[in-house]
Structure 1
Amino acid sequence: MLVLVVPTLVLAQATDTVAPPQFTDRAEARRFHALTEELRCVKCQNQSLADSNAAIAQDLRQEVLDLMRQGKTDAEVKHYLVARYGEFVLYRPRVEPTTWLLWFGPAAVLLVGGFVVAGIVRKRGGNRQAAAAVDEDQEW
């Protein structure tokens, strides 16, 4: 029974292999790869468009290539994708009011943490000096 089931399972798997894009020259290939490395897959979230195997990533790679061949600049291609999918599609979002927390949040947390630690250390240092002064005044 197992001998009959295994071959059908192998044949039942999807075989949607997409052919890699055909570039007109090396400059187009380099530009395409650079762009797809800078863009994030909207489904995988932690993979670039170049690394993702998701169906939407394949569609977006084709869209990027089509926009490049229409004569769009890298900035125009990115702007097009941001307009459709939001700022999340960029690995390096622009610095603007809506992304200030993303850019400056870690530094602010670090700064606040430093002030908290400094306050705790200062408070403990003051308590030790007061305790030492009390011990010196006592007679044994």
Structure 2
Amino acid sequence: MKWLAAALLCILPLPAAAQSAMPPAPLADRQLDDPRLEAAARELMHTLRCVMCQGQSIADSDAPMAGDMRHQVRSRIAAGESAEDVRAWLKARYGDYISYQPELNRVTWPLFAVPALLLLFAALVFFRRVRVAAKPRR
């Protein structure tokens, strides 16, 4: 029983140790001075997915990773890069999953093809049932 208590005392502090001791990135929550650049950065942030939260954009997420990504977006926009250049850099770094607007390529084609095939299958089933129901019974 003493070994169980000792094991618990060793395991319990682990979640607290997992928290990041790093300060947030400088531009994570601070807006750019130029309103036009900030608007471009905000628009881009709403189209990028947080890799930790997975259901939120980096603009809406409070995760430290999203803060780092917001910092990268703002600093690259402030440096003169276009939104598409920043998006391409983030996609190269994190993969196609980062974007809420996936492009059609050899990896993402099922995202586009499967819903169309399911819709076609449902239409075929529907019309076949309607045709069978419309036939006169003998």
Q: Report TM bin, short chain.
A: 0.7 to 0.9
Partner Cα distance (2:87, 2:106) in 1:
19
Normalised by the length of structure 1, the TM-score is 0.72
Structure having greater relative contact order (Cα 8 Å, sep ≥ 6): 2
**Runs of 4 or more consecutive aligned structure 1 residues displaced over 4 Å after TM superposition:** 16-19
Who wins on radius of gyration, i.e. which is larger? 1
| Counterpart among 115, 131, 137 of residue 130 in structure 1 | 137
Q: Which has the higher helix share?
A: 1
Partner Cα distance (2:62, 2:23) in 1:
10
Partner Cα distance (2:52, 2:73) in 1:
16
Q: How many residue pairs align between the two structures?
A: 116
* Percent identity between the two aligned chains: 34
Q: Which sections of structure 1, spanning at least 5 residues, go unmatched?
A: 1-11, 132-140
Q: Which residue of 2 aligns with 1:61?
A: 70
Partner Cα distance (1:66, 1:112) in 2:
48
Partner Cα distance (1:121, 1:17) in 2:
64
Residue 119 (str. 1) matches residue 123 (str. 2)? no
State the superposition RMSD in angstroms: 2.2
Aligned positions of 1:9-28 closer than 5 A: 18=24, 20-28=29-37
Could you tell me how far 1:17 is from its partner in structure 2? 8.4
| Counterpart among 83, 87, 94 of residue 74 in structure 1 | 83
The answer (yes or no) to whether the contact 2:49–2:97 under 8 Å persists in 1 is yes
Q: Which sections of structure 2, spanning at least 5 residues, go unmatched?
A: 1-15
